[in-house]
A and B are shown apart, each in its own frame.
Chain A
Amino acid sequence: MLKKRLIAILPLFNGIVVQSINFNRYLPVGKPEVCIDFLNKWGVDEIVAIDITARRKHSTVNFEQIKRVSEYCFVPLTVGGGINEIEDIDRLLQCGADKISINNNLFSNPDLISKAAKKYGDQCVVASIDVTKNENGYYIYSYLSNLVTNIPLDEALRIAIGSGVGELLINAVHRDGTYKGYDIELFNEVCSKVRVPVLACGGAKNAYCMIDLFNKTNVSAACAGNFFHFSEHSVNTSKRLLIDNKIGIRLETHANYCLNSFDSNGRLLKKSDETLEKLLYLKIEKEII
């Protein structure tokens, strides 16, 4: 059976991974290669790196940086930020990106997506759509102006599907960095209208939010940014909780936390003294491939 995915989103602000709060405040997290190395070792399913400053500076994502950081990535890497030309996509794929993410150009240059899908196949193109909620429903949010546009969600979905994207990364801006959990209603609405995989983002607080998301919607992946950076083994501990709650997901890291218990916030609880005592004598060999 196809497994659900946990995807880490790395917003790059002038080349540094940041924590984003409501798309207008940013706190530094660290170097992307360090984040990618850890996430990869903790068994994340995919990584999305998006340069959120490129478009504002009228430039593209830093190709050399992507080439360097992709060396730490043994899972699929999606890259976005200021992609304007098909040549940018050629170069990114040569630099170790596996998919590309288009946000702004979905509206200003949908031809780019059609061209990319024709050249690299629809599976290579991800549309990243920032959505926010107001009294009239869901509308597209422009991260460039920090304003809600008058484009309704339906219109954005129509353009994206019409131009042939392979996946939709839906970012709930009103939940971004709030720890309020995923907007279930939004993702159900999107899933009912499209037949491509939907990647849900915005508001994850802990693994219980992801369990809730997978139980109540048909999304293919739960994405999170902030939440993965602040605790050791955040990916594999979350996956353990998901598996314990009957969500089909991949967990193959050596540390699989099968004998651990968790608190109501998804935090790892200390093992009993007896168990710890026994662990002292367990030799763990590194797997040699």
Chain B
Amino acid sequence: MTKLLINIIDYGVGNTHSIAHVLKYLGYSVRISDNHDEIKNADALILPGVGAFDVAVSNLRANGLEELLNELVLVEKKPILGICLGMQLMATYSEEYGYHKGLDWIKGCVVKLETSPEFLVPHVGWNNILPVQKEPLFSRADSETNFYFDHSYYFKTDEPKDIAAYVNYSFDITAAVQKDNICGVQFHPEKSQNNGLKLFRSYINSIEQYA
């Protein structure tokens, strides 16, 4: 079996270096690129993202990446993992600084966290999650596993079946989504120490099985 090649999509607003470093640490071949041909021949894609929705989505469109990703993800069914904003981009639309259309891969919207007063916004720090679908993201996770969150908006999905894990912060918030070959996490596995490493290992192992 040839080694998997993971491409981190570079569209200007991601902490690409952090994610690449963690994957290299686990021994994978990683490339950070926005080149269409390079993205096409990767075995798996990671859509990172730190930032505001409108800037991110317009960068994706400006680079012609939206069309390419629609083709690769929806037609060719290439595995993709969205992280933080990268996951939120998969929604139908977002209400962050106005109304912005997303990639619409998983039905739902991204809305501001409206919590009761004792819960501060942004939601920052380590919080326990509640996985509802163990495979592929949480197969190595303990029953009480925590990850590092840092967000002010959250992904409200239309279909509960698209949710892979919840996190409770004033109410149950989407912590991870999955639908066929599409996965996304609200937290930052690349910054969650061993729990994050385990998540990447589980996820990439699951892809290797089918590769």
Contact = CB atoms under 8 A, between A and B. Distances in A.
Interface size class of A (residues with CB under 8 A): 35 or more
Interface centre among B13, B96, B120, B201 (most CB of A within 10 A): B120
Interface stretch (B61-69, B99-107, B158-166, B189-197): B189-197
A98 B13 CA distance: 11
Interface string A55-86: 00000000000010011001110000000000
A124 interface: yes
Contacts of B55: 118-119
A287 interface: yes
Interface size class of B (residues with CB under 8 A): 35 or more
Nearest to B54: A118
Given A45-B125, A197-B124, A96 B52 contact: no
B152 interface: yes
Nearest to A194: B120
Interface centre among B15, B55, B148 (most CB of A within 10 A): B15
A21 interface: no
Contact of B125 (A43, A118, A124, A221): A221
Interface in A237-270: 250, 252
Contacts of A289: 26, 140, 194, 197-198, 201
A75 B148 contact: yes
A96 B26 contact: no
A202 interface: no
Interface string B23-53: 0001000000000000000000000001110
Contact of A98 (B122, B127, B151, B191): B191
The 5 closest A-B pairs by CB, nearest first: A123-B122, A120-B51, A96-B17, A3-B126, A123-B150
B17 A123 contact: no
A51 interface: no
Nearest to B18: A96
A124 B122 CA distance: 10
A98 B126 contact: no
Contact of B126 (A45, A67, A97, A99): A45
Contacts of A75: 148, 191-193
